Amino acid sequence: MGELVRLEINDGIGTIRLERPPMNALNIQVQEELRAVAAQITADDSVRAAVIYGGEKVFAAGADIKEMADMSYVDMAKRAGALSSAFDAIARIPKPVVAAITGYALGGGCELALAADWRVVAEDAKLGQPEIKLGIIPGAGGTQRLSRLIGPAKAKDIIFTGRMVDAAEALAIGLADRVVPADKVYDEAINLVRAYVGGPAQAIAAAKAAIDGGLDRDLAGGLAWESQLFAALFATDDKREGMAAFVGKRPAEFTGR
């Protein structure tokens, strides 16, 4: 159990709670605890989906600038890869993951939200990548994941200006998937992933791997990757159960194996 990142598991859903008040600044300790909790969720078969939640007031307002202010090029050259890979560990969880965003998701906070499969956003929330105002650029996936999600032109506007994006705009451009009142954000996020808890875990993991991995390939490579994952599922118990249930005209009872 981490000191600043806590994992709670209820009914097959793991909640990753950021607990570094007042703004959940993502310092090195938080980054490494995120990496550890991602590994824990990946390895625990009882966890079928996850929610990343910063609390009722704020998701995460960014990296710990005080920690970075005196770092040199040499210092950051040593740290940058670990920073990026900590967030990538969240993105690579082979289970459905949703970010429940209240208050602010800025800088590293936005990058953490981008590592999730979906984003449920409070009506009064603000998202953005303000690193340019510090004389730097996003360094934990922001330039890559944001452009893939909303397109390069919109990503350039947000990153070049460092401006904040409100919930309505985030929904319109695809940065948010659902917008709800702030006090409903966590419940809505839970409801979004609850449907996957009893599903075929191996097939869901393969679908996520096919989609995310295919984005890094050309069409021919993506189709070959899909075919490989598709064929592998024929070795699972869930494939046998799913097809037997279909033929027998009964509900499937998946075990995740």
* Active-site entry in 14, 103, 108, 256: 108
Active site residue 111: yes
* Active-site entry in 33, 61, 105, 131: 131
Contact present, 114 and 141 (Cβ < 8 Å) = yes
Active site residue 108: yes
* Active-site entry in 38, 61, 63, 140: 63
The values of phi and psi at residue 53, to 5°, are -140, 130
Token pair belonging to 97: 């993951």
Contact present, 204 and 196 (Cβ < 8 Å) = yes
Active site residue 63: yes
- CA 35 remoteness from chain centre: 12
Residue 221 CB neighbours (<10 A): 12
Non-local (6+) Cβ contacts of 151 within 8 A are none
Contact present, 36 and 22 (Cβ < 8 Å) = no
* Active-site entry in 25, 33, 86, 111: 111
Catalytic machinery residues: 63, 108, 111, 131
